[in-house]
Amino acid sequence: MANRSSPPGIAILGAGIFVKTQYIPRLAEISDLVVLKAIWSRTEESARGAVEIARKHFPEVKCKWGDEGLNEIIQDSSIVGVAVVVAGHSQVEMSLRMLKAGKHVLQEKPAAASISEIETAMSSYKNISADSTRCPIWAVAENYRFEPAFVELKKLIGEIGDMMNVQLIIEGSMNSSNPYFSSSWRRNLGGGFILDMGVHYIAGLRMLVGCEITSVSATTSHVDKTLPAPDNITSNFQLENGCSGVFVMVVSSRSPKILWRVVGLKGTVQLERGVQDGRHGYMATVYEEGGTSRTIFYPFCGVTEELKAFFNDISETSKEQEPRLSYVEGARDVAVLEAMLESGARNRAVVPVAKF
């Protein structure tokens, strides 16, 4: 582990849109907690483009590319952790390579492309941990679990009494104006944008209700041919607490809307994406007995909070890993969506959700 008095050195593996627009600016906000030592990409051009942006905040950051650059990062003892932000089909392989080298890993979501890949990955990680003198941390970056809106609203779930119904409605905006629309790996991912985007929404759902989804029954369709199949899904789901709910996701809609709603015996809580005073975030509303309600706006800051948690984890030896970052949590998000997609392919068959 890094010395508590000096910030840990990290490298970013990947130099795409998300690194440039999210990782570098968010790291700049908390530059007192971390030293960005290197940015790696498969190509020199891509790596240099990201490093040029990062040098405004981290003037000493080095540019690395190809197999040689990756090996240099592996051999650099001053780099104790890496953020793996590469194409989805390569993330698990890259993460395991870094873990085997003793580096702590913060891997972007989804945790893997399928349950079978997750099972193989977790077995490999178990072997790495058994052979290691110190167990490297494998975290999955799921910022929804760190958004203050979810954290605070989860605390209020107890006020609404026994759960009666849960609704999650996603009308996305994945069209040609979205920078990720043409992303080839997302299009080739099993489940396409539903899996890549959907893990966020399932993570938020699981956090709010505070229990696991046990089984699902879903219908899928492919309407917008500019998108990979399927691009629409409607699923009933059963929670382990006995409550049921519905998950509706449209990958691309003319009227984007993202809404979580939990109805209880004594009231209702609702979380909706929105904008207030030019800031993007969430409107959290509690509807109480007697018809009264209260609403609080929470701006987005989950990416920054999850990065802080990861750096704290790799800087201190006296605490356990932040559970919201665990690879298992990311695996459980994927398991729910894979069950829904399987059910849709099997004409609404009831499919149990794999447990981890």
pLDDT at 321: 81
Question: Tokens 């691309």 label which residue?
Answer: 252
First and final CA of the chain: distance in angstroms? 27
Average pLDDT over the chain, rounded to whole? 92
Taking CA atoms, 340 is separated from 4, 12, 117, 144, 229, in Å, by 44, 33, 17, 20, 14
The owner of tokens 């899928």 is 220
| pLDDT confidence of residue 319 | 62
Distance of CA 134 to the CA centre of its chain: 26
From CA 267, how far away is CA 294, in angstroms rounded?
A: 12
Predicted pLDDT at 134: 72
**Which is more confidently placed, 187 or 277?**
277
pLDDT in tens, 121-151: 999 999 988 876 678 999 999 999 999 999 9
> Residues in the chain, how many?
356
Q: What is the CB neighbour count within 10 angstroms for residue 18?
A: 17
What residue ranges do the domains of the chain occupy? 9-142+304-312, 144-300+334-352
Q: What is the pLDDT of residues 160-173, one digit of tens each?
A: 999 999 999 999 99
Three-point CA angle 182, 301, 333, nearest 5°: 60
Q: With beta carbons less than 8 A apart as the criterion, state whether 16 and 90 touch.
A: no
Question: Does pLDDT of 310 surpass 50?
Answer: yes
The pLDDT tens digits of the residues spanning 21-49 come to: 999 999 999 999 999 999 999 999 999 99
Judge whether residue 2 has pLDDT over 50.
no
Mean pLDDT, residues 63-91 = 94
Indicate the CATH number of 144-300+334-352 among 3.20.20.140, 3.30.360.10, 3.40.50.300, 3.30.160.100: 3.30.360.10
Q: Are strands 9-13 and 79-84 parallel, antiparallel or unpaired?
A: parallel
pLDDT at res. 184: 76
pLDDT at 1: 45
Instruction: Look up residue 291 and give its DSSP letter.
Output: G
Quote the tokens at residue 319: 């605490």
Mean predicted confidence (pLDDT) in 239-250: 97
Residues 47, 79: Cα–Cα separation, whole Å? 17
Question: Domain 9-142+304-312 in CATH: superfamily?
Answer: NAD(P)-binding Rossmann-like Domain (3.40.50.720)
Q: In which band, very low, low, confident or very high, does the pLDDT at 3 lie, cut at 50, 70 and 90?
A: very low
Q: Is the pLDDT of residue 308 over 80?
A: yes
CA distance 145 to 148: 8
Q: Write out pLDDT tens, residues 80-91.
A: 999 999 988 889
